[in-house]
């Protein structure tokens, strides 16, 4: 591993801390190195707050050292005014002479302009260190903007005889999870913007789809209930967490957090759901079953990861 790769690896470690809070922004990490010593570190903690570069620069005790330092950043510094001023401008203003970038920003607002701005200011810029890893880190962001849909993770637990939720002889739901796996399931939920289940899973398992066994916010809950035949006393309809119910016709909202969203069930509903999620800026979707719903995602090629 080269020195540049070592410091970009550290950027990746830092960036990952933002997993649950940066969306719709990408996760980004930054490290400032002076004569082979890290003098500053930062990452993008939360959407709307300071970018990684700003946090890294702020963490440096002796600002005079910046003039002799290199800033490493997992993603190209921004060059446009968003919720915060451009990071490329800050790097120029602080007179940091060298910038090492993991990967270019793939989207129009930045897309090489940050690099161009830095180079025009006389800064030495290296691009593409651990590029694949840096792109992998922001795969949700890339998928969302490229395919105009969330990054989709399918998740199920399966018995050795190939069943995911049913005891065939008794026809009743069987619990396959242990306390540890349910902890992990809740961690996964906290890491996603939304969770989807089909009607049958909602009915048989009566899940609350919350993250009660883990830290973080509850994802948006999604359920398909074409004819609104699900009992209204299910956990999903408790009105405590934002919930979308996909139905055939529009209806009044039963409470402030539950919204009925009409779909055309004479057509494939998955692309319609993807469109709704894209419009609502949902970058990551966890599909928790059941088998028919999971299979329809697989058959449509609409999935990125399976757990």
Residues that bind Zn ion (CB under 5 A): 51, 78, 87
Q: Considering the complex, what minimum distance in angstroms separates the CB of residue 29 from Zn ion?
A: 12
Q: Any catalytic annotation for residue 275? A: no
Q: Considering the complex, what minimum distance in angstroms separates the CB of residue 51 from Zn ion?
A: 3
Task: Give the nearer residue to Zn ion in terms of CB position, either 3 or 120.
Answer: 120
Q: Considering the complex, what minimum distance in angstroms separates the CB of residue 50 from Zn ion?
A: 8
For residues 7 and 133, is the Cβ–Cβ distance under 8 A? no
Give the DSSP letter of residue 61: S
CA–CA separation, 6 vs 257, rounded Å? Answer: 45
Q: Looking at beta carbons, which pairs linking 53-57 to residues 24 or more positions away fall under 8 Å? A: 53/28, 53/77, 53/87, 53/90, 53/91, 54/84, 54/87, 54/90, 55/30, 56/30, 56/31, 56/32, 57/32, 57/90, 57/91, 57/94
CA distances from 204 to 161, 219, 227 (A): 20, 21, 17
Strand order of the sheet with strand 29-34? 37-43, 29-34, 70-75, 98-103, 124-127
Task: Give the nearer residue to Zn ion in terms of CB position, either 12 or 236.
Answer: 12
101: β partners: 73, 127
CA–CA separation, 256 vs 274, rounded Å? Answer: 23
For residues 240 and 257, is the Cβ–Cβ distance under 8 A? yes
The catalytic residue among 41, 53, 76, 191 is 53
* Close Cβ partners of 304 (under 8 Å, ≥ 6 residues apart): 139, 143, 151, 152, 153
Task: Give the nearer residue to Zn ion in terms of CB position, either 27 or 222.
Answer: 27
CA–CA separation, 38 vs 58, rounded Å? Answer: 13
For residues 153 and 288, is the Cβ–Cβ distance under 8 A? no
Q: To the nearest 10°, report the CA torsion of 68, 72, 75, 78.
A: -20
Helix (H) or strand (E) holding 284: strand 284-287
Q: Considering the complex, what minimum distance in angstroms separates the CB of residue 245 from Zn ion?
A: 38
Q: Considering the complex, what minimum distance in angstroms separates the CB of residue 53 from Zn ion?
A: 6
Task: Give the nearer residue to Zn ion in terms of CB position, either 22 or 201.
Answer: 22
Q: Considering the complex, what minimum distance in angstroms separates the CB of residue 236 from Zn ion?
A: 38
Task: Give the nearer residue to Zn ion in terms of CB position, either 60 or 224.
Answer: 60
Task: Give the nearer residue to Zn ion in terms of CB position, either 51 or 188.
Answer: 51
What the block records as the tokens of 199 is 């009607």
Which residues are tagged catalytic? Answer: 53
């Amino acid at each position: 591993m080269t020195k540049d790769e070592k410091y970009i690896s550290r950027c990746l470690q830092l960036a990952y801390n933002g997993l649950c809070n940066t969306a719709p922004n990408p996760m980004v990490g930054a490290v400032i190195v002076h004569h082979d010593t890290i003098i500053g570190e930062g990452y993008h903690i939360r959407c709307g707050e300071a970018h990684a570069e700003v946090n890294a620069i702020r963490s440096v005790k002796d600002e005079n050292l910046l003039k002799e330092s290199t800033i490493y950043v997992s993603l190209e510094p921004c060059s446009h005014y968003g919720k915060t001023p451009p990071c490329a401008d800050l790097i120029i203003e602080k007179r940091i002479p060298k910038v090492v970038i993991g990967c270019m920003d793939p989207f129009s607002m930045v897309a090489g302009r940050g690099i161009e701005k830095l180079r025009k200011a006389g800064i030495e810029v290296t691009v593409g260190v651990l590029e694949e890893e840096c792109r992998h880190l922001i795969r949700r962001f890339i998928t969302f903007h490229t395919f105009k849909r969330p990054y989709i993770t399918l998740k199920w637990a399966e018995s050795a005889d190939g069943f995911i939720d049913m005891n065939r002889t008794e026809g009743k739901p069987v619990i396959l999870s242990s306390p540890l796996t349910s902890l992990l399931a809740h961690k996964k939920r906290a890491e996603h913007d939304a969770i989807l289940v089909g009607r049958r899973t909602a009915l048989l398992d009566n899940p609350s789809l919350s993250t009660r066994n883990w830290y973080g916010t509850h994802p948006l809950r999604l359920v398909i209930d074409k004819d609104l035949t699900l009992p209204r006393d299910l956990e999903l309809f408790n009105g405590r967490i934002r919930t979308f119910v996909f139905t055939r016709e529009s209806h009044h909202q039963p409470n402030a957090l539950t919204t009925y969203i009409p779909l055309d069930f004479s057509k494939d509903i998955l692309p319609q759901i993807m469109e709704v999620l894209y419009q609502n800026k949902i970058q990551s979707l966890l599909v928790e079953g059941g088998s028919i719903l999971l299979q329809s995602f697989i058959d449509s090629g609409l999935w990125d990861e399976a757990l």
